Structure 1
Amino acid sequence: MSAHPAARPDPSPAVPPGARLATFLAAYDEALARWPLPVETLTVPTPYGATRVNACGPREGRPLVLLHGGGATATCWSATAAALAGAGHRVLAVDLVGDPGRSTLDRPRLGGLPDLLGWLDAVLDGLGVPAADLAGHSYGGWIALRYALHAPARVRRLALLDPTQCFTGFRPGYLLSVLPLLLPPRTAAKARAYLDRESGGTGLDPAWRELYALGFADFPAARPVTGPRPSAAELRTLTAPTLVLLAERSRTHQAHTVAAHARRALPDATVTVVPGASHHTLLTAHPDELNRHLTTFLTPDRR
């Protein structure tokens, strides 16, 4: 176990600099307050900055770390946390460092994949969690998979929810479609239009949609750490039982193509395509189906 200071309750989390953040932070707190169960907010000191963790469920439950997609914040798990906590998990929803949220990055940016994995090592150490189940959505799925390859002894079970850059690349034309989002100026209106286009205008939680848009426009996010997909040889070393849950209508990639690649790379994995779900609505538009898949996989003794 590392000697990092232990996580501490965080009744008054530090506010990153910048007057325009006030609306974003208020929206974040409002979104978290609407979770259907009590949430304990923790600050975990790490060498890279203070990390916010939203914790719920039994304190002695099996630890389950949740990693959100880019810009989504840890509040995106509102439709999932209660079901996972009810299944006996200690749910630990993490705000990615350097991303919109209540974590703070104490340097201009992370120095690549080793820093990103070292940060997550430090988070688990600070939480006093030697090993956990790990679930990630989108970019968070890529981080979760990379972490399971980096520290296999610390990942018991791995759930990848419409993960990007894990088994295939992006759908042809997708990056061109998001190019307007990446060009200055960064505005909330651009982010709302992007989410509406990608989701077909349905299934998004309105409060989360607004929080995402405000974070995109007003949070001083660092450039995210990216990298290549894991190679076939790397994937063969994965030891954690794995669930790959894909959104049928995802525009980031072709779900059935990703499923085929995932089955070839991980023949023992559970790979499922969720009908009707899009990349950004998978966590909210079909909560009953998502929660059924996750709780069945993460609590196999309940099957």
Structure 2
Amino acid sequence: MTAIYRSPSGAAAVRERYDALLGRWPVPCEQRTLATRLGDTFAVVSGPADAPPVVALQGSGGTAAHWLPDIATLAGRLRVHAVDAPGEPGRTAEVRPPLGSPAYAEWLDDVLDALGLPRAAFLGTSLGGWWALDYALRRPARVDALALVNPSGIGRRRVAPIVRFAAYRLCGAWGRRRALAMVAAGSPPDPARRAIGEFTLATFEHFKPRLGAIPVFPAERLRELAMPVQAQFGARDVLLDQRDAAARLREALPDADVRLAEDAGHFLPGWAGAAAEFLSRGRA
């Protein structure tokens, strides 16, 4: 098993800070540990028990705590199961099967089974959007709807900004602050998002992110998505060409709700209200 932290003390520091953020969860919740074939999976469950179920998947380097600024909006209309992905910081098993293998779909099969959910909607941001898309294509009968927020796997990756981002991260605390500011362009500076930004900086002092290529879904695969789809993109995303992604998705799925925010980057302001309305529509 590949170590995802640079040291045991660094792993402990990330988890301590993670637990502190979970203690600030603004709505009633239940923390659960789910048995899966990849190992234990940690989830935070919020929202009315009779509301439409949603599995929320955060991106690379993220945890369930990254939903903290928006969980009150989401849980007001949905039963949200925020899951720590394998091989990412948090409290899920530290394993990283190759992207594109069936392992993540099998893992999500186990997550749904452990939660007692025959079907659910999926909400994914960044790499979490890739996992959601991959699962929807492999297991369409278990996916009620897809809400994607700046997902990976549709548009082109921006090479030059990623090189600059990697270089910033080698420049100590100053570089990490510059890298975060670069990714967070257009994000509203509210206290909860500042706390998550600080947590992200602290995490990447100790965490080893995935470095491999992220597979892109070809148009013919995207056309197979028969469930309702909403996708929100930020045109100023420095990591992904989301203008290209929005155009590709509109062409592949003319009936999808595709939104491109011209002034937003990788962290989209105001996305949660639109996603909550979409995911609860006709599914209450």
Please tell me whether the aligned partners of residues 125 and 149 of structure 2 are also in contact (alpha carbons under 8 angstroms).
Answer: yes
Equivalence for 1:294? 275
Unaligned 5+ runs, structure 2 = 1-6
Give 3-state SS (helix, strand or coil) of 1:40's partner.
strand
Taking the aligned partners of 1:201 and 1:274, their CA distance within structure 2 comes to 10
Please tell me whether the aligned partners of residues 14 and 89 of structure 2 are also in contact (alpha carbons under 8 angstroms).
Answer: no
2:203 matches 1:203: no
Identity of aligned residues (%): 36
Equivalence for 2:216? 229
1:198–1:76 distance in 2 versus 1, CA, 3 Å: same
Taking the aligned partners of 2:199 and 2:248, their CA distance within structure 1 comes to 34
2:38 matches 1:51: no
Please tell me whether the aligned partners of residues 187 and 264 of structure 2 are also in contact (alpha carbons under 8 angstroms).
Answer: no
TM-score normalised per structure 1: 0.82
Equivalence for 2:110? 122
Give 3-state SS (helix, strand or coil) of 2:19's partner.
helix
The aligned amino acid for 1:100 is P
Unaligned 5+ runs, structure 1 = 1-16
Give 3-state SS (helix, strand or coil) of 2:8's partner.
coil
Taking the aligned partners of 1:236 and 1:85, their CA distance within structure 2 comes to 30
164, 174, 190: which one aligns with 2:152: 164
Give 3-state SS (helix, strand or coil) of 2:258's partner.
strand
244, 258, 263: which one aligns with 1:276: 263
Equivalence for 2:237? 250
Please tell me whether the aligned partners of residues 100 and 216 of structure 1 are also in contact (alpha carbons under 8 angstroms).
Answer: no
Equivalence for 1:86? 76
Taking the aligned partners of 1:267 and 1:82, their CA distance within structure 2 comes to 31
1:222–1:172 distance in 2 versus 1, CA, 3 Å: closer
User: What is the Cα deviation at residue 292 of structure 1?
Assistant: 2.6
Which deviates further from its counterpart, 122-131 or 30-39? Answer: 30-39
User: What is the Cα deviation at residue 129 of structure 1?
Assistant: 1.1
77, 84, 87: which one aligns with 1:95: 84
User: What is the Cα deviation at residue 177 of structure 1?
Assistant: 2.1
231, 240, 249: which one aligns with 2:227: 240
Taking the aligned partners of 1:148 and 1:188, their CA distance within structure 2 comes to 39
1:226–1:52 distance in 2 versus 1, CA, 3 Å: farther
1:44–1:156 distance in 2 versus 1, CA, 3 Å: same
1:157–1:197 distance in 2 versus 1, CA, 3 Å: same
Equivalence for 1:29? 19
Please tell me whether the aligned partners of residues 40 and 92 of structure 2 are also in contact (alpha carbons under 8 angstroms).
Answer: yes
Taking the aligned partners of 2:22 and 2:129, their CA distance within structure 1 comes to 22
Equivalence for 2:176? 191
After superposition, the C-alpha distances for 1:107-151 in whole angstroms (9 at most, x for unaligned) are 5x3244211221111111111111101010011111111110010
The aligned amino acid for 2:144 is R
Taking the aligned partners of 1:190 and 1:140, their CA distance within structure 2 comes to 25
2:52 matches 1:69: no
User: What is the Cα deviation at residue 24 of structure 1?
Assistant: 1.5
Please tell me whether the aligned partners of residues 110 and 225 of structure 1 are also in contact (alpha carbons under 8 angstroms).
Answer: no
Equivalence for 1:104? 93
CA RMSD of aligned residues (A): 2.5
User: What is the Cα deviation at residue 79 of structure 1?
Assistant: 2.4
1:239–1:165 distance in 2 versus 1, CA, 3 Å: same
Taking the aligned partners of 1:95 and 1:259, their CA distance within structure 2 comes to 27
1:272–1:200 distance in 2 versus 1, CA, 3 Å: closer
User: What is the Cα deviation at residue 216 of structure 1?
Assistant: 1.8
Please tell me whether the aligned partners of residues 174 and 252 of structure 1 are also in contact (alpha carbons under 8 angstroms).
Answer: yes
Give 3-state SS (helix, strand or coil) of 1:134's partner.
strand
Taking the aligned partners of 2:246 and 2:237, their CA distance within structure 1 comes to 12
Taking the aligned partners of 2:29 and 2:90, their CA distance within structure 1 comes to 16
Equivalence for 1:138? 126
Please tell me whether the aligned partners of residues 43 and 52 of structure 1 are also in contact (alpha carbons under 8 angstroms).
Answer: yes
Please tell me whether the aligned partners of residues 56 and 85 of structure 1 are also in contact (alpha carbons under 8 angstroms).
Answer: yes
Aligned residues: 274
The aligned amino acid for 1:296 is E
1:44–1:78 distance in 2 versus 1, CA, 3 Å: same
Please tell me whether the aligned partners of residues 169 and 179 of structure 2 are also in contact (alpha carbons under 8 angstroms).
Answer: no
User: What is the Cα deviation at residue 277 of structure 1?
Assistant: 2.1
